[in-house]
Amino acid sequence: MPAGEIPPHYWEPSLHDLYEHAPVGQASVDPGDVVVKVNATLLGLLGATEEQLLGTVFRDHLTPGSVLFYDTRFQPVLSLGGVVNEVSLTMRGANGQDVPVLVNARSVHDEAGGVRVVRLAIFDSTSRHGYERELLHARRAAESSETLVRVLQDASMAFGACSTEDDLAVTLMESARRAVSGAAAAVLILDEHKKLQPAEGSHPLAMELARLVGSPVERAVEQLAPASLGNARDAGVGGAEIGEALLAARFEAVTAVPLASDSEAIGVLVTFFGRARSIGPELIGLEQALASQAVQVLTRIRLQVQLRHLALHDGLTGLANRILLVHNLNAALEMSHSARSSMAVVFLDLDGFKPVNDTLGHTAGDAVLSEVAARLVGLSRPDDLVARFGGDEFAVVFRDTDESDARALADDLVAAVAEPMESLPEGFRITGSAGLALYTPAAGPLSDQPTAASLLALADSAMYRSKQVERGSITVVRA
Amino acid sequence: MIVSSDSPTEVVRRNNVTILGNPTGRTIVFAHGFGCSQATWRRVTPAFLEDYRVVLFDHVGAGDSDLSAYDPGKYDSLHGYADDLLEIIEALAVPDVVYVGHSVSAMIGVLAAGRQPDRFSSLVLVGPSARYVNDDDSGYVGGFEQHDIDDLLDALDSNYLGWSSVMAPVIMGNAERPELGDDLTASFCSIDPFIASQFARVTFLSDNRADLAKVVTPTLILQNQDDAIAPESVGRFVRDSIPGSEYVVMDARGHIPNLSEPGELVSEISKYLAKRQE
C-alpha cells in the first residue's frame, strides 16, 4: 500500500470515540483552571464520574505537594510559554488514592493572545512511578554519601595546605559552612590561660555565646561533647537570652563541636544556620570529622612552630639565639640600606658573672642570665631584637635609629644590667660592658655594606675596648 | 565567616538587575516568587514604565542570575535573599523604593524592610504567607503539612529535566500583545535544579510570623481568591500582624495574578500608590 493511502476497511468509528477512548487521559480547563471537558480514559484513570470533574478546579484534584509545584512552576511556565511537557504530578482519584501522572499541556489562544482554553494530556505513570521514586531516593542517598566523601576529601586537602593556625581556622570554618550549609561559622581557640580566643574571620556571636552559661558553645567546651540548638525560638527555660542573641544575628540554629586533642579541649568549632533545622547525628558527625581532621593538622602546625622556636631561641632565657640574631641582623641591614636609615647593634658582656657561677653554682648563674635577659627585653622597643650570643654575652639589634638614640638606648641597657639583683648575696655584683656598632648607609656600592658577621665583630671588639677601659662602660664604633 | 557584600556592579550582574521606564520617576522594584524569574512581571511592568523607574531582578539561582554566586549557607534562609535585596536597592542609588513582592518575595521584602525601613516607602505584598506549614502548637493554619513539602521536593526532583533547559517556545500569533513576543526569546523561568530544591525548602519551611510585626513601612496586602498556596486565612494573618496594613481581596484566582490577571493587579497597585501619592 502506497504511503498516504488508507486501507479501505479500517475501523475507527468517530473522532468523538477517538477522543473519549484515546489511550491517554484528556481534559480541557478554562483560564481559571476550571475543568470544562474530560474524556472517558481520564475518568477511568481517576475512578471518577464526569459530574465529579466537570466544573471543578483542576488543581483541587492534585495532592498538596503537586499543587505547590503546579501553582509555582507549571502555571507560570504554561502562562508564559503556552506549553508544558512531561511534567510529573500526582492526582487524587475519586477514592482518595494517589494517581501518578505525566502531563503535557497546550494553551489555545484567541486572536488577542488571551488564553481560551488549556488542553491537557494526562498519562498514567503508576507503573513507572514507584520505580522512578526508588531510583530517585537511591540517587539522593548516593549523592549524599558522595557529597560526604567529597567534603571530607576536599577538607583534608585544604587542611594539608595550611601552614599557620589562622589559615587552618579559616579553612575549617569555610569547610564546615559549606558541608552543612551554614550561614556563618567561628573557631575559638583556648589560649595559654585557658581563655577562648576567636580565630580571625570568626562570627562574633560565638564569643558572646561562649560567655553565656548553658549555651551550646559553653557546653561543648566544658563537657567536651557536641552541643546544639536546632531552633532559637525553642531555646527552653533559661535559654531565652541565647535564643534572642541568635535571632538578633538572624540565625535560628547553632551547633558547637569541640576541638580536642588527647581528650583535652583546645577549642571549638561553631556553625550558625539561617533556618531552624533538626540537628541529627549525621550533621554532627560530619562536623566532628572535619574538626578532628583539623585538630591533627593543628597539632602538626603547633609542633612545627615549637620546633622552629626551639631551633632559633635559647632554651634558658627564651631570647633569640645566634642563628636568629644573624638572620635578623641581615634583614635589618637590608632594610637599613633600602630605607636609608641608620641601625645599630650592641654587644654586651657581663662583668662579675664568673664568680657567681663558680662560687654560687650554675643555678645562681642561670638566674642571673634570666634576670639580665628580662631586663634587656623590658627596655627594648617592639622592633628591636634581643639575643643571647652565648655564655654571658648578649646582643641587641636596634633598627631605624641614629647615633644619639642608639647611644641612649645602650646607656639604658648597661644601667639596667648594673642594677642590684635580689638573688645575689652581698659581695657579688653584675655589670655589663658594651660595644655599640652603628651603621649609616651611604650611597656607595652594595659591596661596601657590612655583613652581620662584620658588624658583630666590630661591636665585639668595641666591647673588649670597654672592658679594658672601665667595666660597665660603652664604646661606640661606626661601620 | 561572614559573606562579604558585593560591589554595585557585581550586584547588578549577580541578580541580573534590569532597569526600565522613566529614569526620573520614583523607583519601583518587582521581585518574583519561587518557581520562575523576573519574566513573571512582564504583563505588569508596562503599565508603570511611563511614570516609574522600573527595576526587575532574578534571585540568585533563577533566570539569568549568576549561578556561581550561589552560596548554600547564605541562601539557606530568606535572610540571604533579603541581604541581596538590600544590596540591590543600595546599588540603585536612590533613597527608597516602592517594593512589590510576589509569593516568597513578599516575605523577603518583609525581612528587608524590617531591617532597613528607610529603604522602603511602600510595600506591596502579593499572595504573601508567613508560614506554609501548619503549626499545631499555636493553632496556625498555613495550609500544608511537612510531608506535603517533602512531596513537592520529590516533584521537583522528578521534574528536574524541565528546570534549567530552555523552554521550547510556542508561536502564539498575538500581534495585539507584543510583550508576549519577548517570552519567546529568553530562557524564562529557568532555575538550577539543585538551587530550586533548596529554594523550595527555604520558601516553604521558613517561619517568618515573628518578622511581620517589625514592619513599619506602609503595606498593601493583595490577596487572591482560591489561592491554594496562600489561602485567605494566611493573608488575613499577615494583615493582622503588620500594624496598619491595608488588605484587598482581588477577583484574581489562583496564585499568580501577575500572569493571570495583570490588569487587576496593576490597578490595585496604582490605586494604592496614588493614594499614597507615590
**Tens of pLDDT, residues B167-205:** 444 433 343 444 444 444 445 778 888 888 899 999 999
pLDDT of residue B275: 94
C-alpha cell at A217: 558553645
The side-by-side arrangement of strands in the sheet containing A474-478 is: A385-390, A393-398, A343-351, A431-439, A474-478
Confidence band, pLDDT 50/70/90 cuts, at residue A462: very high
Domains A140-309 and A322-478 share a fold: no
Reply yes or no on whether B137 is catalytic.
no
Quote the CA–CA distance of A25 and A13 in Å, as a whole number. Answer: 19
Kindly determine whether residue A32 and residue B42, on different chains, have CB atoms separated by under 8 Å.
no
- The cell numbers describing B222, all together, are 493583595
Instruction: Enter the C-alpha cell of residue A381.
Output: 622597643
Distance of residue A101 Cα from the nearest chain B Cα, in angstroms? 11
And the C-alpha cell for B201? 525548602
Pick the CATH number of A140-309 from 3.30.450.40, 3.40.50.10600, 3.60.20.10, 3.60.10.10: 3.30.450.40
Region A335-354: what's the mean pLDDT? 91
* Residues of chain B positioned with their CB less than 8 A from the CB of A109: 172-174
The half-sphere exposure of B102 on its side-chain side, counting CA atoms within 13 A, is: 31
- Which of A73, A83, A123 should be substituted to probe chain B, the one whose Cβ sees the most B Cβ atoms within 10 Å? A73
The topology (CATH level 3) of A322-478 is: Alpha-Beta Plaits (3.30.70)
> What residue ranges do the domains of chain A occupy?
15-124, 140-309, 322-478
Class of domain A15-124: alpha beta
For residue A161, the model assigns a pLDDT of 92
Query: What pLDDT does A263 receive?
Result: 85
SS3 A353: helix
Mean pLDDT score across all residues of chain B:
88
Cβ atoms of A311 and A323 within 8 Å: the answer is yes
Shortest distance between the Cα of B128 and any Cα of chain A, in A, equals 13
In the β-sheet with A35-38, what is the strand arrangement from edge to edge? A35-38, A25-29, A115-124, A98-109, A83-92
Q: Which residues of chain A make contact with B148, given a CB cutoff of 8 A?
A: 63-65, 68
Nearest Cβ partner for B172 among A32, A109, A180: A109
Calculate mean pLDDT across residues A110-125: 92
Give the span between the Cα atoms of A288 and B253, in whole angstroms.
50
What pLDDT score was predicted for residue A447? 61
Which chain A residues have a beta carbon less than 8 Å from that of B74? 183, 274
Between B36, B183, B228, which is nearest A59 by CB?
B228
**Distance from the B275 Cα atom to the nearest Cα atom in chain A, whole angstroms:** 30
Q: Which pLDDT score, from 0 to 100, does residue A472 have? A: 87
Nearest C-alpha of chain B: how many angstroms from A439?
46
Q: Can you give A57-88 as a three-state secondary structure string?
A: EHHHHECHHHHHHHHHHHHHHHHHHCEEEEEE
What mean pLDDT do residues A398-403 have? 90
Most B CBs within 10 Å, among A59, A62, A71, to test the B interface: A71
Scanning every residue of chain B, which has its alpha carbon at the shortest distance from the alpha carbon of A177?
A: B73
B227 to chain A: which residues are within 8 Å by CB? Answer: 71
By Cβ distance, the residue of B148, B200, B256 closest to A79 is B256
Asked whether the beta carbons of residue A69 and residue B205 sit closer than 8 angstroms, the reply is no
Residue with cell 583539623: A294
Sequential DSSP letters for A233-251: GG--TT-HHHHHHHHHTT-
Binned at pLDDT 50, 70 and 90, residue A477 comes out as very high
- CB neighbour list of residue B118: distance below 8 Å, 6 or more residues apart: B95, B96
Query: Domains of chain B (ranges plus CATH)?
Result: 8-275 (3.40.50.1820)
H or E stretch covering A120: strand A115-124
Phi-psi region of B78 (alpha: psi -120 to 50; beta: other; left: phi over 0): alpha
- Out of B150, B176, B227, name the one closest to residue A113 (CB): B176
Would the CB atoms of A80 and B151 count as touching at under 8 Å? no
Residue with cell 507584543: B178
Q: Phi and psi of B92, rounded to 5°? A: -75, -15
Nearest to B189, CA basis, from A78, A70, A109, A115: A78
A172: nearest CA partner in chain B = B1
- Residues above pLDDT 90, as percent of chain A: 69
> Which of B152, B177, B259 lies closest to A80 in CB terms?
B259
Q: How far is it, in rounded angstroms, from Cα A49 to Cα A39?
A: 10
What are the tens digits of pLDDT across the range B208-242?
Answer: 999 999 999 999 999 999 999 999 999 999 999 99
In chain A, whose CA is at the least distance from the CA of B104? A72
- Which among A31, A64, A274 is the nearest to B148, CB-wise? A64
Residue contact B152–A90, C-beta within 8 A: no
**Which stretch of DSSP H or E encloses residue B41?**
none
Distance between CA atoms of residues A460 and B75, nearest Å: 66
Question: Rounded to the nearest 5°, which phi and psi values hold at A215?
Answer: -70, 155
pTM for this predicted structure = 0.78
Best of A80, A172, A174, A233 to disrupt the B interface by mutation (most B CBs within 10 Å)?
Answer: A80
Tens digits of residue pLDDT in A314-338: 989 999 999 999 999 999 988 888 8
CA-angle at A120, arms to A118 and A125, nearest 5°:
160
Cβ atoms within 10 Å, residue B3: 14
Q: What are the C-alpha distances in Å from B33 to residues A159, A242, B99, B106? A: 40, 33, 13, 8
Give the nearest partner residue to A183 out of B74, B170, B260, using CB atoms: B74
CB contact under 8 A, B158 and A252: no
Q: What percent of chain A has pLDDT over 70?
A: 99
Picking from A79, A89, A170, A173 by the largest number of B CB atoms within 10 A of its own CB, the best residue to mutate is A79
C-alpha radius of gyration, chain A, whole number: 41
Tens-digit pLDDT profile for residues A202-222: 999 999 999 999 999 999 999
Of all residues in chain A, the one with the smallest CA distance to B40 is: A76
A38-50 average pLDDT score: 96
Partner-chain residue, chosen from B73, B174, B255, that has the shortest CB–CB distance to A113? B174
Nearest to B35 among A66, A76, A201 (CB): A76
| A-B contacts (CB, under 8 Å) | 190
Query: Residue A426: is its pLDDT beyond 80?
Result: yes
List B84, B227, B241, B245, catalytic entry: B227
pLDDT at B156: 83
* B255 assigned to active site: yes
pLDDT at A301 > cutoff 50: yes
d(Cα B146, Cα B152) in Å, to the nearest integer? 10
CA distance B130 to A64: 18
Rounded Cα–Cα distance for residues B158 and A176 (Å): 30
Interchain proximity B161–A86, CB inside 8 Å: yes
Cβ contact, residue pair B151, A64, below 8 Å? yes
A462, A344 contact by CB (below 8 A):
no
Full DSSP string of B215-264:
--S-EEEEEEET-SSS-HHHHHHHHHHSTT-EEEEEEEESS-HHHH-HHH
Q: Which of B158, B159, B251 to probe by mutation at the A interface, max A CB count within 10 Å?
A: B158
CB contact under 8 A, A73 and B170: no
CB pair distance less than 8 Å for A81 and B34: no
pLDDT at position B220 is 98
Burial class (CB in 10 A: 0-12, 13-18, 19+), A448: exposed
CA closest to A103 among chain B residues: B159
Could A109 and B207 be called an inter-chain contact, meaning their C-beta atoms sit closer than 8 Å?
A: no
B24–chain A nearest CA distance, Å: 30
ipTM: 0.88
Task: Say what the pLDDT of residue B2 is.
Answer: 44
SS3 B117: helix
- Pick from B177, B188, B147: nearest CA to B39: B188
Residuewise pLDDT in 10s, chain B (278 residues): 344 567 888 999 999 999 999 999 999 999 999 989 999 999 999 999 999 999 999 999 998 999 999 999 999 999 999 999 999 999 999 999 999 999 999 999 999 999 999 999 999 999 999 999 999 989 999 999 999 988 888 888 777 766 654 444 443 334 344 444 444 444 577 888 888 889 999 999 999 999 999 999 999 999 999 999 999 999 999 999 999 999 999 999 999 999 999 999 999 999 999 998 87
Q: Contacts of residue B176 in chain A, CB cutoff 8 Å?
A: 111-113
Q: How far is A311 from chain B (nearest CA, A)?
A: 35
Q: Is B227 a catalytic residue?
A: yes
C-beta atoms of B206 and A76 within 8 A: no
Q: Across the interface, do A71 and B228 touch by the CB < 8 Å criterion?
A: yes
Closest B-chain CA to A132:
B158
Q: What is the phi/psi pair of residue B170, to 5°? A: -120, 130
Within 8 A of A252 by CB-CB distance, chain B residues are: 77
| Among chain A residues, CA nearest to B144 | A64
Q: What is the CA radius of gyration of chain B?
A: 18
Digit-coded pLDDT (tens) for A136-172: 888 888 888 888 888 889 999 999 999 999 999 999 9
State the cell numbers at B191: 532555575
Helix (H) or strand (E) run with residue A227 in it: strand A227-229
* H helices present in chain B, as ranges: 8-14, 78-92, 104-115, 146-158, 161-164, 179-182, 193-205, 209-212, 232-241, 257-260, 262-275
CB A107 within 8 A of CB A82: yes
**A379 DSSP 8-state letter:** H
Mean pLDDT of chain A: 91
Catalytic residue among B103, B121, B206, B241: B103
pLDDT value of residue A11: 87
